Each structure stands twice: as structure tokens, then as C-alpha cells.
Amino acid sequence: MEYKYTSKSVDDTLRLAENLESEKFPNMVICLEGELGSGKTVFTKGFATALGIEETITSPTFTIIKEYLNGELPLYHMDVYRLEEAEDDIGITDYFHKGGVTIIEWADNIKDKLPKERLEIKFKVIDENTRILLFEAYGEKYEELCNAVL
């Protein structure tokens, strides 16, 4: 099922991420898609802050994966923009079963590695401040999460 949310500011996106975090569960996977500057890292910052992570959240473009282990649950933040689909040797799929929350920017680049159950969020830029976020829930837990928050 698809859900839609209109964010009118960075604060809206941060609040939405914080609300989603309130429904978190171990092994949660959130896949973010959208052009550069559309709000993917802003969303991750909001989620991380709500988890209690105090470190500065930046996009892990060159490191691919950043681990934040000091929150309520571990957060595994991935940016797979530079990754080729054939690259299996860095263990991305291992993170889906480590008991934390995995947030993947540019997730459409590794579609074949994503778990069957996940939440996909597509960010569409409308203007300088406005974004449309399209949510697609794969699996009952993610449907329940969207129904609770959106």
C-alpha cells in the first residue's frame, strides 16, 4: 500500500522521522530514494536524534556505511550511491539482521539485495522547501507503522 506525506520544511521532515522512530523495531529497514538535496539525510538526522544518538549525522557517501551504536537501538546508515549492484563483498545484507535499524540512501541502487519486508520512502522535490514523500510498505509491520504515523 502507498502513503503520501507533504513536508513543507526541514522541521516537518525531522518531525516525521521522529514519529516513525517512535514505532521502531529491531531489524527495521528504511529505504530512501530521491535526488540530491531532497531530504534523505535530513530524515536520517531526525530519526537518529529521536533514537538518542548525539553524534553528528552526515551522509556516508565515501565510507558507504556508518554505524551509530549509542542510541536506543543501533543505527546503520548507508549511502549506496557509488555502489554497483554486483558488489557483494562488503556485507550490506548482514546489517539487516543485527538487531538495529538500517537506513539506506539511494536504496534503488541495490534493489536486488533489499529484504522482502521493508519501508521505502521516495522524496520528490516540489520547491525550495516542499517535498512530497511517498511511502511504500512491504510487510505487515511496515503497514502498521505507516497506519500509526501517517
**CATH code, 93:** 3.40.50.300
32/43 Cα distance (integer angstroms)? 9
Q: How many residues does the structure list for the chain?
A: 150
Please, which pLDDT band fits residue 88 given cuts at 50, 70 and 90? low
Written as one string, the DSSP assignment of 90-112 is T-GGGGGGSSSEEEEETGGGGGG
Q: Give the range of the structural domain holding residue 55, as residue numbers without chain letter.
A: 2-149
Task: Tell me how many domains the chain contains.
Answer: 1
The pLDDT assigned to 60 comes to: 81
Q: What is the identity of the amino acid at 123?
A: F
Q: For residue 141, what is its C-alpha cell?
A: 509491520
6-60 pLDDT tens trace: 999 999 999 999 999 999 999 999 999 999 999 999 999 999 999 999 999 998 8
pTM: 0.95
Q: Considering only CA atoms, which of 140, 134, 99, 97 is closest in space to residue 117?
A: 140
In sequence order, what are the beta bridge partners of 75?
68, 101
125/122 Cα distance (integer angstroms)? 10
